[in-house]
Amino acid sequence: MSRKVSVIDYLEENYLNIPDKTAVSEESESITWLELRNRSRELAYSLISTSDPSGKKVPVVIFMDRSISHVVSIYGTLYSGSFYVPVDVSTPVERLNSILETLQEYRILTNRKDEKKLLKSGYSGEYLVYEDLIGKAVGKAESPEIHAAVNSIMDSSLMYIIFTSGSTGVPKGVAVRHRSVMDYISSFMDEVGMRGDDVCGNQAPFYSDMSLKDLYMTLASGAELCIIPAKCFSFPLKLLQYIDEKKITYCMWVPTVYRIIAQFKSLGKLRPDSIRTLCFSGESMQLPVFEYWKGFYPDIDYWQFYGPSEITGSCSYYKVDNKRNYDGLIPIGKPYRNTGMILVDGEEIIPQSDRSRKGEICVYGTCLAAGYYNNPEKTEMAFTDLPSELGYGEKMYHTGDLAFWDEDGNLVFSGRMDYQVKHMGKRIELGEIENAVDSLDDIDACCCVHNKNKDALVLYYIGSLSEKDLMRALDSKLPPYMIPTVVNKVETLPQLPNGKLDRKTLEKENN
Amino acid sequence: MRDEILKLLEETCPTIDFENEDALIDDGLLDSYAVLSIIGAISEKYDIEFEADDVLPETFNNLDCITKLVQEILERKTM
């Protein structure tokens, strides 16, 4: 087996070994590894031939919903030697503009279906249409230009940028190199694994780091990536019917989805036989939800993962012990091989023997992102020098998450250090919501807190704007998952003796 | 009851015209988050519990379907 530098090398291998096996499927369409490889190369040919004659690599912003064409666009961009930036098609134009400003140079790629959403968002710049590019390049899959572009990829080259919520209202672009994803694939396949005959039921949006598992573990194992339509996630029985129909064996979802199934006691109506492995990450799994699932599937494998986008996918893994009765939380586990995780309290590293003492999770190793794209200040704040006893001239990433070591040497998550919360499985800076509200006319003050039990974003504000108008105005400023769940117009907000907003009091009222 | 539910829906998702939209799900106006918020609001107001069979695309497609569903669940509750 020859050396692999990027995910492209896995795709070429599948093209040779399992050309006719299904690679990606949607509701009524599917594509084989041979087709995926050739179509991606054709798209790459179009991208190369329409690019800047100087040969400069500019990122390709993929403005598409989860789909086969999105997967082709990812590989097409990589085959062209460039890197991709997946964005949410429901991104309001202000946020999209902020992302584009950060990128400085870019090309936007959309498809016929999502073009309408791009225009509806208010975007008025240039863009490429997937179907047009593919149409121009039929039969060009073996062009020498593609070969040259692929040869130019180094494992230190950027592979993608994923934008996350930023506290100042400006989204941060986590820029990740090929080698971090290759490292993640090796780690995951060694410890967790996926089989060639698995069918992986995709829920994670491609603009979220969680989708790396779905996209690249299916690639590395030759399994099928089965894209579950978004509307299934509103209707638990539809989702179970889809799993049953497509014979899905492997799911890596946010706990919210597992909760929806449990909430409506759906498995009693339909229990798909095909399921073999269930994984959760993105936020803490609630024990009653897990117990509900275990009641129907006592003998399958359950895994919990942990890791922010800045460390590429996940940095720790934990195989749930089906026989054990957990009281409290399911651990987030141990770091993968070739990944370092430490708990830090101020300047001090908490030894593993010092059980139950909380510290900030810091991560180091090949998994670390290159930093926040075009944002050296934020990069410097989050990526600091690794203590020299752990490595020479290395960086470590401060996650802002708190955890402690348990008696088995596993990490147990215990909350956030700041006002960043997990809502619907997505990482949100409450400050970004508050900034959006503050930017509206007729708002005097506001505070947003997270109700963990209901997973609700609760906004309090003082101002003359009605609750209805406020919600309308926010619709164009924030993505749907950041829109407050409950809005309370109030006369006053609690204050601390120093006059600062007393956020804790509002938090207590909600938790 | 229709008006009561309309008011509740408008409070939950103020940007959607529930009076006139006929295909909330088919047209993709309600995402999973909105559907769950609506279920939460209705459950609280009427003190009812939705079951898996109640939460289907066809029962959430417009105001009339949702009203009919709530009536059915209320009837089931009193039986």
Interface confidence, given as ipTM, is: 0.86
Name residues 267-306 of chain A within 8 A of B (Cβ).
Answer: 268-269
- The angle at the Cα of A261, spanning A92 to A330, to the nearest 5 degrees, equals 90
Q: Is A231 on the interface with B (CB under 8 A)?
A: yes
Kindly give the pairing relationship between strand A199-202 and strand A224-227. Answer: parallel
Instruction: Check: CB of residue B52 under 8 Å from CB of residue A255.
Output: no
Two structure tokens written together for A89: 């098609």
This prediction's pTM: 0.87
Two structure tokens written together for B18: 């529930």
A428-510: CATH architecture: 2-Layer Sandwich (3.30)
At A286 the three-state DSSP class reads: coil
Nearest Cα residue in chain B from A238:
B56
Res A166: pLDDT? 66
At A55 the three-state DSSP class reads: coil
Residues on chain B touching A475 (C-beta within 8 angstroms): 15
Class assignment of domain A192-306?
alpha beta
Residues on chain A touching B11 (C-beta within 8 angstroms): 467-468
- C-beta atoms of B15 and A472 within 8 A: yes
Long-range contacts (CB closer than 8 Å, 24 or more residues apart) made by A98-104? A98/A169, A98/A170, A98/A171, A99/A61, A99/A163, A99/A171, A99/A173, A100/A61, A100/A125, A102/A163, A102/A170, A102/A171, A102/A173, A102/A373, A102/A374, A102/A375, A103/A59, A103/A61, A103/A161, A103/A173, A103/A373, A103/A374, A104/A374
Region(s) of chain A under CATH 2.30.38.10: 307-416
Residues on chain A touching B25 (C-beta within 8 angstroms): 231, 234
Long-range contacts (CB closer than 8 Å, 24 or more residues apart) made by B47-50? B48/B73, B48/B74, B48/B77, B49/B73, B50/A264
- C-beta atoms of A472 and B56 within 8 A: no
Pick the CATH number of A307-416 from 2.40.30.40, 3.30.470.20, 2.30.38.10, 3.40.640.10: 2.30.38.10
Pick the CATH number of A1-153 from 3.40.50.980, 3.40.50.720, 1.10.150.450, 1.10.10.10: 3.40.50.980
Residues on chain B touching A234 (C-beta within 8 angstroms): 25, 30-32, 35-36, 55, 57, 60
Distance of CA A101 to the CA centre of its chain: 21
Consecutive 10-residue averages of pLDDT for chain A (511 residues): 91 98 97 98 96 86 97 98 95 90 96 94 93 94 95 96 79 96 98 98 94 98 97 93 98 90 93 97 85 96 96 97 88 96 92 91 98 96 94 95 93 81 81 82 85 88 88 87 89 70 81 77
Residues on chain B touching A268 (C-beta within 8 angstroms): 52
Indicate the residue type of A365.
G
Beta-carbon-side half-sphere exposure of residue A491 (alpha carbons within 13 Å):
0
- C-beta atoms of A234 and B10 within 8 A: no
Nearest Cα residue in chain B from A467:
B11
pLDDT grade for B11, boundaries at 50, 70 and 90 = confident
Region(s) of chain A under CATH 3.40.50.980: 1-153, 192-306
Beta-carbon-side half-sphere exposure of residue A502 (alpha carbons within 13 Å):
12
Question: Whole-angstrom Cα distance, residue A473 to residue A469?
Answer: 6
Q: Give A3: exposed, middle or buried? Use CB within 10 Å, 0-12, 13-18, 19+.
A: exposed
* Best CA proximity match to A484, nearest among B17, B42, B12: B12
DSSP secondary structure of A88-123: -TT--HHHHHHHHHHHSS-EEEE-HHHHHHHHHTT-
Question: Whole-angstrom Cα distance, residue A78 to residue A154?
Answer: 11
Pick the CATH number of B2-78 from 3.30.365.10, 3.40.50.410, 1.10.1200.10, 3.30.2270.10: 1.10.1200.10
Residues on chain A touching B34 (C-beta within 8 angstroms): 480
Res A496: pLDDT? 67
Q: Is A486 on the interface with B (CB under 8 A)?
A: no
DSSP secondary structure of B41-69: HHHHHHT----TTT--GGGSSSHHHHHHH
Q: Distances from the Cα of A136 to the Cαs of A112, A132, A511, in angstroms?
A: 15, 6, 57
SS (H, E, C) A189-252: HHHCCCCCCCEEEECCCCCCCCHHHHHHHHHHHCCEEEECCHHHHHCHHHHHHHHHHHCCCEEE
Q: Which of B31, B50, B61, B66 to mutate to test the interface with A (most CBs of A within 10 A)?
A: B31
At A376 the three-state DSSP class reads: helix
- C-beta atoms of B28 and A231 within 8 A: yes
Nearest Cα residue in chain A from B59:
A235
- C-beta atoms of B52 and A234 within 8 A: no
Nearest Cα residue in chain A from B16:
A472
Nearest to B52 among A269, A424, A485 (CB): A269
- C-beta atoms of B35 and A265 within 8 A: no
- C-beta atoms of A238 and B37 within 8 A: no
Question: Whole-angstrom Cα distance, residue A465 to residue A108?
Answer: 36
Instruction: Check: CB of residue B63 under 8 Å from CB of residue B19.
Output: yes
Q: Which of A228, A234, A466, A487 to mutate to test the interface with B (most CBs of B within 10 A)?
A: A234
Element (H, E) at A449: strand A443-451
Sign of the Cα torsion A379, A382, A385, A386 reads negative
Q: Is A466 on the interface with B (CB under 8 A)?
A: no
- C-beta atoms of A468 and B10 within 8 A: yes
Residues on chain B touching A238 (C-beta within 8 angstroms): 56-57
- What does DSSP assign to residue A402? E
Question: Whole-angstrom Cα distance, residue A258 to residue A371?
Answer: 32
Two structure tokens written together for A256: 């919210």
- C-beta atoms of A234 and B14 within 8 A: no
Q: Which of A89, A114, A232, A235 to mutate to test the interface with B (most CBs of B within 10 A)?
A: A235
Q: Which of B8, B9, B32 to mutate to test the interface with A (most CBs of A within 10 A)?
A: B32
Q: Distances from the Cα of A437 to the Cαs of A440, A450, B10, in angstroms?
A: 6, 16, 20
- The angle at the Cα of A382, spanning A378 to A385, to the nearest 5 degrees, equals 120
Distance of CA A240 to the CA centre of its chain: 23
Res A169: pLDDT? 66
Calculate how close chain B gets to A34, using CA atoms only, in Å. Answer: 33
